[in-house]
Each structure stands twice: as C-alpha cells, then as structure tokens.
Amino acid sequence: MKSLAAFLIASLFAASAWAADAAAPAAPDLKAGQATFSATCVACHGADGNSTVPAQPKLAQQHPEYLVKQLEDFKSGARTSAIMKGFASALSEQDMRNVAWWLASQKMTWGFSSDEKLATRGQAIYRGGIMDRHIPACAACHSPNGAGIPIQYPRLGGQFEDYVATQLKQFRSGERANSDVMHDVAHYMTDNEIKAVSDYIAGLR
C-alpha cells in the first residue's frame, strides 16, 4: 500500500513537471528570427530593424516582450492595421518570439529633434507632464532617457517624430485601442503638445 502511494505521488510530480515543460515556450532562435524578418518585414522596417521611412517605426533594440504583444494584437485585431494583420497572421507564436528577440539584439540608429523650441516644450511635458490637465510625465513609464521598462513599457528614445505623433493621435481618437493607459494619457493632449513631445522623443537618448 505504501509503495502504491509513493508511486502515485511520484507519478503526480512527473506529470506536473511534464506539463510545466510543455507549457514553457522554446528559447528564441535568433537565426530563424532574422530569416523570418528578412523575408517579411525588411521592406518597411529596414534590414536591421532601423526603418528609414518616418511613418514606419524603428524596431531595433525594442523590448522583445512588447514586440510580441504588438504582433499578437495585430493578429487578433486588438490593434488594427490591414497590412500588419496580414503579416502577423502568418506568424506562429514561436515565429513572433524569434523575430522579437532578434530585433532586440540589434542596435537602434539614433534620431534627432527638428525644432529646438518645440523640443524644449516637449521635454517639459515628457519629464514633468501637465498636472492640471491630467497629463502625466512620459518619463514615469518610458524612463528619463526613453529606454522604457522591459516587459512593461516600450523604448521610445530615437523613434521617428512622425510615427510617435501618429500613434498618440490614434490613442487619443480610440483608433488604436490596445492600451487603455495610453488612451487616457493622449486624450488630454492637443495636437501641438503631441508634436512637441514627439519631436523631443526623436532626439532623446
């Protein structure tokens, strides 16, 4: 009887260990990620994830967990883009992880602000927010140098002004609906404030 109980307990632990192993995703394959990226993403996002088109984001050095979430959101429709949905729908979960971790291993090419006066205004908002208008400091989540917080908040520093401004306006309007936090932040921002913050972010490092 005692041996039967021991056998059942051992079997239970073995089954639990197997289930845990089965649930854990495979380690990202950077070589496979580069191959997938080169085959499907390079035209818009550049050979190393550094887009040269201001409307298309730089993806190099971005936090991989954030990239995976965006791809999952494009695939599910939580984030809308007819173009990106088509690409994301063709990717498995492992493909997404491979691509995201490969992109995270690449170095972003730094950008620059285009208007010193505008960027100064943007810096004040980024670092201090506008408290009487319920606009929090961007630095609180995206860090003072724009590096973001791994897993939680994306890297912003050096991103194209045009892309950042477009995303903020889409958060504000609800067209981009995959972040309640960003909707609440952008909801109170004027076009000029969005432009100022975006210009400052472009030169942030």
Q: pLDDT-based confidence at 63, cuts 50/70/90?
A: very high
Residue 142 located in a structural domain: yes
Q: What is the mean pLDDT of residues 131-152?
A: 96
What's the pLDDT score for residue 77?
97
Structure tokens at 170: 């889409």
Q: Is residue 50 part of a domain?
A: yes
Question: Looking at residues 13-26, what average pLDDT do you find?
Answer: 54
- Domain of 96 in residue numbering reads as 30-104
Burial tier of 171 (Cβ tally within 10 Å: 0-12, 13-18, 19+): buried
- 13 part of a folded domain: no
> pLDDT value at position 3?
53
Q: Which of 104, 130, 161 is the last residue of a domain?
A: 104
Does the residue 36 lie in any domain?
A: yes
Domain boundary among 52, 69, 104: 104
Average pLDDT on 160-165 reads: 98
15 located within any domain? no
Under the banding of pLDDT at 50, 70 and 90, the label for residue 25 is confident
In the Cβ-directed half-sphere of 36, how many Cα atoms lie within 13 Å?
22
Let me know if residue 17 belongs to a domain: no
In this predicted structure, the answer to whether residue 137 has a pLDDT above a threshold of 50 is: yes
Q: Range with the lowest mean pLDDT among 14-28, 46-60, 74-88, 150-164?
A: 14-28
CATH number at 48 reads 1.10.760.10
Q: Are residues 96 and 127 in the same domain?
A: no
d(CA 138, CA 145): 10
Q: Is 0.85 topped by the overall pTM?
A: yes
Same domain for 120 and 189? yes
Whether residue 70 has pLDDT greater than 70 = yes
User: So what's the pLDDT on residue 174?
Assistant: 97
Q: Is the pLDDT of residue 11 over 80?
A: no
99 plus 130 within the same structural domain: no
Last residue of a domain, one of 50, 77, 104: 104
Long-range CB contacts (within 8 A, 24+) of 77-86: 78/177, 78/178, 79/176, 79/177, 79/178, 80/175, 80/176, 80/177
Number of domains, the chain: 2
Nearest by Cα to 192 from 115, 93, 109, 107: 115
